[in-house]
Structure formats: C-alpha cells, structure tokens
Chain A
Amino acid sequence: MKARTLTRHFKESFKSIGRNSWMTFASVSAVTVTLLLVGVFVLIMMNLNKVADDLENDVEIKVFVSLDATEETIQNLESQIIEMPGVESTNFSTKEEELTDLVLDFGDELSLFEQSNPLFDVFYVKAVEPQQTEKIATDIAALENIEDVKYGEGKIEKLFNVLNAGRNVGLILILALLFTAMFLISNTIRITIVARRREIEIMKLVGATNWFVRIPFILEGMWLGIMGSIIPIGLVALLYSKITEFAQPRLSGELFQLLEFTPFIYQVSALILLMGVFIGIWGSFMSIRKFLRV
C-alpha cells in the first residue's frame, strides 16, 4: 500500500469520528463501561489468585518426631520423607530451635521451659503441589518414629475448593462480558457504516478495492476502542493505587499480600488497551463484511 493511501485512510478515519460524533460517543461509552467492568474484574481476580497462591504456598506439614528417636533414626526419616513423591523440601528443626522460636514469638515467660523442654524435634515438609498435602501427610504418619503429623486438615481443602470455584466463575464472567462488549461495538459500528452506505456503494462502483473500503472503518473501530479504554485505564489505576495504599500497611506481616501497584497496573492497562483495540477492530470487521457485497 502506498504511503499516500495510508495517510488518506488515517485522515478518513479521524474525519469520520468527528462527523459521526454522536455515534462515536455511543460506541466509546459502550467500550468504556465494558472495559471498566473487565478492568475491575481483572483486578479482583488477579488479586484473589495472588492471595490463593500465597496461602497455598504457605501450606506445610509439621511432622513431630518421637522423643525416643536417635540421631540416626532422624537422618533416616529425613531421607525417607524427601524421597516421597510430591515432596518439595523438608526442613529439620530441633526442639531447642523450636523453643527459641516460641520464646521469640510469645516472650520470655516461656524461657523457663529451657530447664525441661517439652517440645519435639520437627520436620517442616512442603509439597510440590499444595493439593497433595493431604496424601503426603497420611504417608508420613504411617512411618515409624513419628509422634504426630499436623497440617491445616479440612480447612485447606475447603480453601482450595472455594478458590478454584472463584477462579472458574470469574473466568466465565469475564468471557461473557467480553462477548457482550463485542456485540455492542459491532452493532454500533454497523450503525456508523449504515450511515455511510452510500459512500461505500460509490467507492465500489468507481472501482475501489475491498481493502481500500475496509481500512478506514477498521481504523475507526480501532480509535473507538482506544478512546474507550482511556477512562477505564485511568479509573482502574486510581482505584488500585487507593486500594494498595489502604491495604498494604494493614497486610504487612500477614500470610498473603496484594499484588504490587507496579508492574501489575501496567499489565492491566496494557490488557485493557489491547482489548479495546481488539474489540474495535473485530467489531468493524464483522459489520463491514455484508456492505462490501455491492
């Protein structure tokens, strides 16, 4: 394509936006509302995912070793556990270390136990896949010289179920929203094109190629998509900066954290922009097809 033609297409697409200002306004509003919903949804879902991942990664099995276990037995146990399928890591902590941790957490009153330490030697075991935690715990409990095995029995399964369901529902909702947006935009651009039917008809009659007719409309759709993504990007960024500002100090030291403002907000903005561009182009494309059959 010649540069001159491309310039013409750009000019035409801008002119058309100005000419059909009400239609432009309607399309941009539709894109804005949809992308805003999608943007907020992505914020929520991505953060829920992050929280889920944080919690999942924190799930570990606490294995209490029998008091009568010798050093040799303990080493044996460790190698047995590490060789189990699905085990990512084990971390041994003697009862003295356990007590030091306790004292650190709960204060000096507990240091009187240093005389006669009531605690056990402990293995902290992590599963590669958090969902395997339960099976690994059962397997470890079956080994000899184990006093007890503890993990967030029951609660963890429930948490996983809720999170998985949440993710799926979220994905379905986002897809549904996107389709709605596409149809809205496709319809709006169809109206723009209907208003310019005569122009297309004449272009075709004097021998313009299909691509020549199509490109300005596709560019126009793209501009609409881009314009429609500006407000959602701004609002989502503002909203998220307020949320992180509010939540981050309150969540410090907790097991889970929200996603950092950057680079997350850049990724969300890019996603919103790309979606705007995509639905704009797709909408024009779908609408113009039937008008080219002159």
Chain B
Amino acid sequence: MIQMKNVYKKYPNGIVALNGLNVEIDQGEFVYIVGPSGAGKSTFIKMMYREERPSSGQMFVDDIDIATLKNRKVPMLRRQIGVVFQDFKLLNKLNVYENVAFALEVIEEKPAAIKKRVMEVLDLVGLKHKAKMFPTELSGGEQQRVSIARSIVNMPKVMIADEPTGNLDPETAWDIMNLFERINKAGTTIIMATHNQQIVNTRRHRVIAIEGGLIVRDVAGGDYGYEG
C-alpha cells in the first residue's frame, strides 16, 4: 500500500526532516507513528497526501509515484486518502451534513449518491441525529467524529490521522479510537501519528518510532516507548 525507499526531505530553510527513510505498510494495517516533536512525523504524514514532496528517494501510495506526481494529478491521489487532523478542520458555516457532503460535492459525486452515503457515514459515527447542527454547537469529540465521517465518506483505502485525539479529553479519545478500530476492521489502512501513550499501550498495533528523520523502531504490537 505504502512504500518508501531512502526518502530524504530537506526544507528550503535547510532543515533535514527525513534522512533516508525506508518503510512498507500493507493494505489493512493499523500503524501508530510516534516520536518526539520535530522528529519528522509531520513531514512523513504530509508526504502521504503529497502536501510535501520527497527531495530524493522513491515513494508510492497505492501504486501512485509521489515523487513524480504532477500537481494536476494530486486531486486523484487525495480521493484515495482520508485525512483527519487534531483541529478537525470543519467549516463552521456549514452544518454537520453539509460538512460531510462537501467532500463528495467537490469531487462531483451524484446528488442522490451523496445523500445516501452521507447518511450512512453519519450513522456509522453516531451523529445522524445531529445532522442539522453546526460545528460550534458540538463537543470536541463530536466535531472530530464529523471530520472522521468526512474523511471516510468517499471510501478511501487509507486514512491518515495527525494527532486525532490531541484536543480531546481521555474518555472522548477512547470513543474516537473505537471508531478507528471499526473503520480499520472494514479494511481501511490507518496511519495515526500520536503522542498518546495510554492509547498506544492499550490498543496494540504496529508502532513506528521516528527520530531525527529516521525510523528507530518498528515493532508489531509494540508499546509507546517514551516517557509521559
């Protein structure tokens, strides 16, 4: 599903974020990306949906060559990938239904199909009854569930989550994790960058630790491995 070979990333300001990184992630895996701040986690995540481009090395996501992908082909890549952020990135002037439908409208899906699919995913994340409410009327956990609904509404093969529980209280964080587990069981690859030790140590999955732009540990069912 995702292959990286000697991926190297140097930013224009001279900072080397990834220093010859090698990794392979299969379809259907659930992977935690851990490591200290500034270790290269974000760059690693951003490359998956081609917000950043490798400076050198080879990288494939679902057989799409990220290094040589033309700008106008980027939308096609992103339709295969769902992305969830710490700050949810919802549009406050659209209601819950519209926020989720937005993702299908902008890729020119048929209106009848949009309605059906949006109601399905809102049901999946347990927010069908709040479809008409606006993000500002929802709790943080509910907002994150809306953003998850939006990310899976076009049935992506991979879901990328950057600190999805970072802004949530522990109890809500578990709800979100349950949701991720269900989505993963349905066959979607999940790649999640996190600092949440408790979650990583309890819900055991493959753990990839990045430090100084390199993978320092890659253990199936591993633990968080850092203090606090």
Binding site for B on A (CB under 8 A): 2, 4-5, 8, 19, 198-199, 201-210, 212, 294
Contacts and interface: CB of A to CB of B under 8 A. Distances in A.
5 contacts: A4-B111, A198-B89, A206-B102, A206-B154, A209-B72
A101 B189 CA distance: 101
Contact of B108 (A5, A205, A210): A5
Contacts of B108: 2, 4-5, 212
Given A206-B107, A207-B154, 9 more contacts: A199-B91, A202-B89, A204-B75, A205-B49, A205-B83, A206-B102, A207-B78, A207-B103, A207-B106
B75 A198 contact: no
A277 to B, nearest CB: 26
Interface string B56-100: 000000000000000110011111000100000101010000000
A204 B107 CA distance: 10
The 10 A-B pairs at the shortest CB distance, nearest first, are namely: A208-B106, A207-B78, A207-B79, A206-B103, A207-B75, A209-B75, A203-B106, A207-B107, A5-B108, A205-B83
B105 interface: yes
A40 B120 CA distance: 60
Nearest to B82: A206
B150 A206 contact: yes
Nearest to B78: A207
Given A8-B105, A198-B91, A207 B76 contact: yes
Which of A198, A207, A208, A209: most chain B CB closer than 10 A? A207
B171 interface: no
Contact of A210 (B72, B89, B93): B72
Contacts of A5: 108
A206 B108 CA distance: 12
Contacts of A2: 108
B51 interface: yes
B72 A201 contact: no
Contact of A208 (B49, B71, B75, B93): B75
A209 B51 CA distance: 14
A202 B93 CA distance: 14
Contacts of A4: 108, 111
Nearest to A8: B105
A206 B160 CA distance: 12
A226 B103 CA distance: 31
Interface string B149-192: 01000100000000000000000000000000000000000000
B106 A206 contact: yes
Nearest to B111: A4
B79 A205 contact: no
Nearest to B76: A207
A294 to B, nearest CB: 7
A8 B93 CA distance: 17
B89 A201 contact: yes
A212 B106 CA distance: 7
A19 B94 CA distance: 12
Nearest to A1: B108
B78 A206 contact: yes
Interface in B129-167: 150, 154
Nearest to B153: A206
Contact of B91 (A8, A202, A210): A202
B93 A19 contact: yes
A205 B51 CA distance: 9
Contacts of A204: 75, 78
A198 B79 CA distance: 18
Nearest to A2: B108
B91 A205 contact: no
A8 B75 CA distance: 19
Contacts of A294: 51
A209 B79 CA distance: 10
A217 to B, nearest CB: 14
A56 B105 CA distance: 63
A207 B108 CA distance: 10
A294 B71 CA distance: 10
Contacts of B107: 206-208
Contacts of B49: 205
Contacts of A210: 71-72, 75
Nearest to B89: A202
Contact of A205 (B72, B89, B105, B111): B89
Contacts of A198: 89, 91
B131 to A, nearest CB: 19
Nearest to B147: A202
B223 to A, nearest CB: 32
A206 B150 CA distance: 9
Contacts of B102: 202-203, 206
